Structure 1
Amino acid sequence: MGICEVNGVSLGVEEFGEPDAPLVLCLGAPTMLSWPDALCELLARQGRRVVRCDLRDAGASSHGDLESPDYTLRDLAADAAALARTFDERPAHLAGIGISGMVAQVAALDHPDAFSALTFIGTRPVAPGPVDNDLPDHDEATMEPLFSRPQPDWTDVDSVADFMTEGAQILGDDPDEAREVAVRIWERTQDSDTETHLADQLGMVFSRLDCSPRWRERLPQLQLPTLVVHGRLDPFFPVGNGEAIAREIPGARLLVLENGSTAVSTADVPEVVSAMSEL
């Protein structure tokens, strides 16, 4: 793991594979650990140089005012383009998952020359907040138990791990994998205060960003090979969101993981990597 300086900020990064191999840049959601080790390692074995990174205000990256961030979604998109150019002069395959899937969409639209292919996993084509009438919103039956739970003791790793494991069970993700990732994220968190742990574990800063202007109407402009991956059982961003992205990007391929929810499970890694490698 290391640090890369772009656009006046420091971003935490980790590399897999040979330095001269074609680059796949995986944006964190918000930390790099939203990308499974197994996925990054398998892509590297298949001849890719994989760089996964923390977004601003997450992991090893620069931290500012977590209550009122002074950057926008488009700044995060510019970070992605700058990071890609830092690691390779050639256009990169850009991948985003969840909230970083939104960043990746805007990055590809604002900086198309920086990228050669796109992968969007478990995301949607509009910003946090009210969704368009034709898009499915969060599943209310799942959100109520997810968000009504008592908060953990964020200074205690076991309490946080229990909280995130229970959340994974509610969402339909693998609880054991969620616990392992939660512990690793906790151990990388720069400070011990609640807001920093919320930023790393739950990506709360993202909901406070200025995500304007809309970008959904621009998606048909994308001319890059695109893969859209979505879990059939995802209650947070239901699969109709991924279907909409794939429908609006010319030539995009939609891969629905029939048993998948919000995270890429170890069981689904080979299928996802195979599809990404075809771009």
Structure 2
Amino acid sequence: MNPVGSSRVTEKSVDVTGAKLQTEAFGDPSGPPVLLIMGMMSSMLWWPDRFCEQLAARARYVIRYDQRDTGLSTHYPQGEPGYSFGDLADDAIAILDAYGLDSAHLAGMSMGGFVAQDAALRHPGRVRTLALISTSPFGAEGLPSPARAYQDHSAAADGLDWSDPGTIADFLRRDCAMLAGTRHPHDAEAASGLIARDMARSPSFASATNHFVLPGGAEPDKLRASDLRMPVLAIHGTADPLFPIGHGDAFTKIVRTAKLHRVEGGGHEIHDRDIDDMVRAIADHTAD
């Protein structure tokens, strides 16, 4: 993680039901709040510093956090998550409570986009807008499958020794390369550095694999993106190999309040060269 720039940054450990969550806030607390929710196995470090700083520079109060089993938040024994997917959504609302926020804009990346949708569907009064990056509409069916090459890569994970840090790091480096887009060159050195920092920061990185086996929660079958009523912005790379662009486009067909912001040649990532464009889109979307 690069050194934090001029944005005012504060850290806070938040108590939620059964866990502690590490959070970090950028900018002026009087600005419109934007809560960032990262994806599977990824701590808040995967929200680039520059992304957070630039959004804060646009007068937003930006909060990122480590979900359970990532970073400095509570970890559980590998293969035994003491929480459900629904708990992750409730965690987002608990963070708003801890910061004294009646409501906030939520931005979710990949699995974090599903968490954000879950939170918005079950706590609609707490969510002003949704910005959903590289994800898919909750409860949608018939959407495109991941690229075949990515499916083969993902299937290989089943045979890995997830207790070995070196094995995990090697797989994650390959994963970042597989998820890269086509417009910009993949920065393998930067990805490797981020993975190393993320693993070094976590007391039990292998526990992040609990995200693969989470139970759904209270009533997951009843939650549908079509029931979202707040403004929704889908930000999606046209070369995303995990959730092809059809997933981003589906939001505009399923959710009447949704708009699609296409990242031409973008993959399943927040590439440094796309940050300016993505921040501008989110700032416009969250203008109170």
Q: Please give the residue correspondences for 1:149-164 in structure 2 after superposition, counting only pairs within 5 Å.
A: 151=160, 161-164=169-172
Corresponding position: 1:40 with 2:46: no
Contiguous gaps of at least 5 residues in structure 1: none
Corresponding position: 1:51 with 2:63: yes
What TM-score do the two structures reach when normalised by structure 2? 0.83
Corresponding position: 1:121 with 2:129: no
CA distance in 2, matches of 1:177, 1:197: 21
Alpha-carbon offset, residue 266 of structure 1? 0.7
Corresponding position: 1:182 with 2:190: no
CA contact (8 A) 2:138 2:225 kept: no
CA distance in 2, matches of 1:125, 1:215: 13
Corresponding position: 1:207 with 2:212: yes
Alpha-carbon offset, residue 147 of structure 1? 4.0
CA distance in 2, matches of 1:245, 1:71: 28
CA distance in 1, matches of 2:221, 2:60: 29
CA distance in 1, matches of 2:74, 2:207: 15
What TM-score do the two structures reach when normalised by structure 1? 0.86
Amino acid at match of 1:219: A
Alpha-carbon offset, residue 121 of structure 1? 0.7
CA contact (8 A) 1:160 1:182 kept: no
**For residue 169 of structure 1, what is the aligned residue in structure 2?**
177
Aligned identity (percent) is 32
Give CA deviations for 1:6-37 in whole Å, capped at 9, x if unaligned: 23420011111112222110012231122111
CA distance in 2, matches of 1:97, 1:266: 15
Corresponding position: 1:258 with 2:258: no
Amino acid at match of 1:197: A
Contiguous gaps of at least 5 residues in structure 2: 1-10
Paired residue for 1:221, among 227, 234, 251?
227
* Cα pair distance change 1:99/1:269, threshold 3 Å: same
Alignment RMSD, CA only? 2.4
Alpha-carbon offset, residue 244 of structure 1? 1.5
Give CA deviations for 1:38-63 in whole Å, capped at 9, x if unaligned: 11010011111111011111111111
* Cα pair distance change 1:126/1:89, threshold 3 Å: closer
* Cα pair distance change 1:28/1:171, threshold 3 Å: closer
CA contact (8 A) 1:3 1:60 kept: no
> Which 4+ residue blocks in structure 1 deviate beyond 6 angstroms?
none
**For residue 197 of structure 1, what is the aligned residue in structure 2?**
206
Count of residue pairs the alignment pairs up: 266
* Cα pair distance change 1:126/1:140, threshold 3 Å: farther
